[in-house]
Structure 1
């Protein structure tokens, strides 16, 4: 155990808790807790959006992919970049709608059934995403304290911390802490690059040590495999409730749109440097423990491949990013259960105090569910794609249709959400593997799930009654 690394992780934990508890007195109403009183500036939004998007999916799953396949891993990140370019035009409309959750939008534009199914899809997706953040945090604690903390114990410890931190002050603590985390991660990842490049013998040394395919656009992947990485990421980005909730928290439509510009630049830079560091790490550490667990390459590099101070800061930055993403994706489904179930159906007249109590209880319950999933997950990359696919197929088409297709109606939306969710869960069942050719059954669920969802949305919307004028009014373009 290195005292320096332990000290950095301890300082980050203490800082997060201090910021969180310092904002308790500012959280008095539902709007304070769920959308930070709609007060976030573009600067704060940039970093909270970055921190919520770049977590274990990139730092573990993306890095694992880069360690194995080289720069072809950027197909996964590239899907998000395309989604970001489209979000630039969506952000002002989302802020104009200015509610609390995606199911708010689904009910306003479609009906109550769409809201309920939307909640179910969000719960499946976001607790799965939270679960592999807990895996990542547990891995880091095990690397720093190998004789004291096992990977599973690390998951328990991270889960406890994330639950407490998220429950205390809600969106307010999450957003403002993300500014510190985003700055720390950006600078340490960039500073690590020249040191690791030197250790790898420069680019000439890296290209000599690795297969030529590691530096090709597709590498050893097929085009279909590349698209199976890019499409779920793009569609999750376009429909991501955590993102829309940040837009709902913005001061204005202008702040929401300006934040997207900074988010695009930051995401491209950070995800590219993460993949680059993982590729260089595969040169420096081609064998040994990390070759058996390549998702740990960034943390392992921080511990064994960098000067002590920089390594400790990089380890702390990766740890903080994972914590931040876990906070964001745990907080978001808790918001759904409170706003879309408790307030909407169980206790519509509940006071702000009651809402805050229930909100914090939901964070605890969902955190426990995410921990259960973390303890039973082997591959972070596979779990990432599963989570992305549920959301991409079930919700993103109907969310985009809510903004951009006036003919989309409740019947089409409800059937699309149900079809996308069912097909994603069903695709990994024994039935598929026993009754379809292997060339089809072995493919990821994204394309069959997306086709099923789109067919239901388009066909059923066209053969049933169009939406009422009042359903379109809140999402008009002007």
Structure 2
């Protein structure tokens, strides 16, 4: 157990060192929010990879794989499909070169779209941050079961994340992600074949589990699979955290190159995560982890290498440490992004437009702390990470992704339509839990993604057709991109 504690301690110290090392480079608003637009492709690859693959994959996706098998790749596959489309969006986003998605919404639509966009982002991003705290708390409890409860672990993880994120902003986040991405990718790829060998080989894994674990449809059905696929795909296409990374790129060429590396890394790492969880379900079909299957990856790190040689025990500790670091990394990204909205889209836009760089940096760090506390509060009332993830993804997918894509690719989309689309997509998702029980069973038993997305798209297209086309000046800045 001391080995696991030592690895976690070393990782925390490294992350703190990286954050402090970047602090001296943060002098202006642009330095804090978009790393001075200086990130090269190599750094971008790993910060994109680390921000995307967090507790949603490591806990929610792994839980799904433990229970259902490789059908869990539908959730990951939504991201892969989105990435292929992002290859064509990334250079245009870098040309636009603003700070946040609401900057884009106001430029293309109006101020109301900007404000509604901020609300949808706050709901989505703090929800996603909240279950990163759950994942980190679970890991700390597994390592220190007699000292740290899962709830206490959430408080500790929240403290780490708030401090790391507040120190140096995007620069801190990006360079921590470089270290974490390399550690996680290497460790998980090494751990998978070792765990398969300990299970008796792939044939033994296959024999120990139902045949449905090795199909892509049978266990969940096509519609349920789409309910995993669509929210992930649409969240990725409109993901503000991703666009901020493109705004932070050194050049359009770096942005496009980073997407290629991101695609390769994401396909490999998410497939490995699902394969480890499936192997874990063969190794540990009963016991503590069967009651909390979201912990399967960390459980494999803790118990899958325990009686092995010293190098393999170290690999198990590194696997646990890599998962812990990935959760911190993802929480940093998803916490930092909405803080930039409150600073750039509310404080600097409406409250204090003449604020100095020094004052903006102070307010930025305060927003990180306040939003971190809000995310912690949400985590205390959350039981299912997968359910929380799909809720958060759906808000963004229905409310923002359609109007973001329309901003780049559909000149006829109007400001009134964007406002209606964002408002309706958000409202349907947030209210679905209360509305669904009163609807016919065929509709009420479905997740919110289909009704929320359909309602949002109807508003976008129908209102655009009955309102005046956008003015030429609304389109010019994006056409240049």
| Distance (whole Å) between structure 2 residues aligned to residue 217 and residue 361 of structure 1 | 45
- Residue 460 (structure 1) aligned with residue 459 (structure 2): no
> Which aligned runs of 4 or more in structure 1 are off by greater than 4 angstroms?
none
| Distance (whole Å) between structure 2 residues aligned to residue 219 and residue 237 of structure 1 | 26
- Residue 179 (structure 1) aligned with residue 178 (structure 2): yes
State the 1:308 CA deviation.
1.1
Whether contact under 8 Å (2:436, 2:445) holds in the other structure is: no
Task: Give the structure 2 partner of residue 390 of structure 1.
Answer: 395
**Please, what TM-score do these two structures have when normalized by structure 2?**
0.98
Q: Aligned with 1:170: secondary structure?
A: helix
| Distance (whole Å) between structure 2 residues aligned to residue 449 and residue 217 of structure 1 | 25
Task: Give the structure 1 partner of residue 340 of structure 2.
Answer: 335
| Distance (whole Å) between structure 1 residues aligned to residue 433 and residue 230 of structure 2 | 19
**Please, what TM-score do these two structures have when normalized by structure 1?**
0.99
State the 1:203 CA deviation.
1.6
Q: Aligned with 1:218: secondary structure?
A: coil
State the 1:204 CA deviation.
1.2
| Distance (whole Å) between structure 2 residues aligned to residue 291 and residue 206 of structure 1 | 16
| Distance (whole Å) between structure 2 residues aligned to residue 18 and residue 133 of structure 1 | 22
Whether contact under 8 Å (1:70, 1:219) holds in the other structure is: no
Task: Give the structure 2 partner of residue 282 of structure 1.
Answer: 281
For residues 209-268 of structure 1, what are the alpha-carbon distances to aligned partners after superposition, in whole Å with 9 as ceiling and x for unaligned? 100010011131110000000000000000000000000000111100110000000000
For residues 90-145 of structure 1, what are the alpha-carbon distances to aligned partners after superposition, in whole Å with 9 as ceiling and x for unaligned? 00010000000000000000000000000000000000000000000000000000
State the 1:438 CA deviation.
1.8
Whether contact under 8 Å (2:79, 2:236) holds in the other structure is: yes
| Distance (whole Å) between structure 2 residues aligned to residue 199 and residue 463 of structure 1 | 64
The count of aligned residue pairs is 475
State the 1:462 CA deviation.
1.0
Task: Give the structure 2 partner of residue 19 of structure 1.
Answer: 18
Task: Give the structure 2 partner of residue 445 of structure 1.
Answer: 448
| Distance (whole Å) between structure 1 residues aligned to residue 74 and residue 26 of structure 2 | 40
Whether contact under 8 Å (2:85, 2:237) holds in the other structure is: yes
- Residue 432 (structure 1) aligned with residue 447 (structure 2): no
State the 1:432 CA deviation.
2.8
| Distance (whole Å) between structure 1 residues aligned to residue 193 and residue 110 of structure 2 | 54
Q: Aligned with 1:367: secondary structure?
A: helix
Q: How does 1:15-414 map to 2 (within 5 A)?
A: 15-306=14-305, 307-414=312-419
Structure 1 residue runs of 5 or longer lacking an equivalent are none
Q: Which residue of the other structure, out of 469, 473, 478, is the alignment partner of 1:470?
A: 473
- Between stretches 301-310 and 68-77, larger displacement belongs to 301-310
Q: Aligned with 1:140: secondary structure?
A: helix
| Distance (whole Å) between structure 2 residues aligned to residue 243 and residue 120 of structure 1 | 18
State the 1:477 CA deviation.
5.9
| Distance (whole Å) between structure 2 residues aligned to residue 122 and residue 305 of structure 1 | 39
Whether contact under 8 Å (2:231, 2:397) holds in the other structure is: yes
| Distance (whole Å) between structure 1 residues aligned to residue 332 and residue 284 of structure 2 | 31
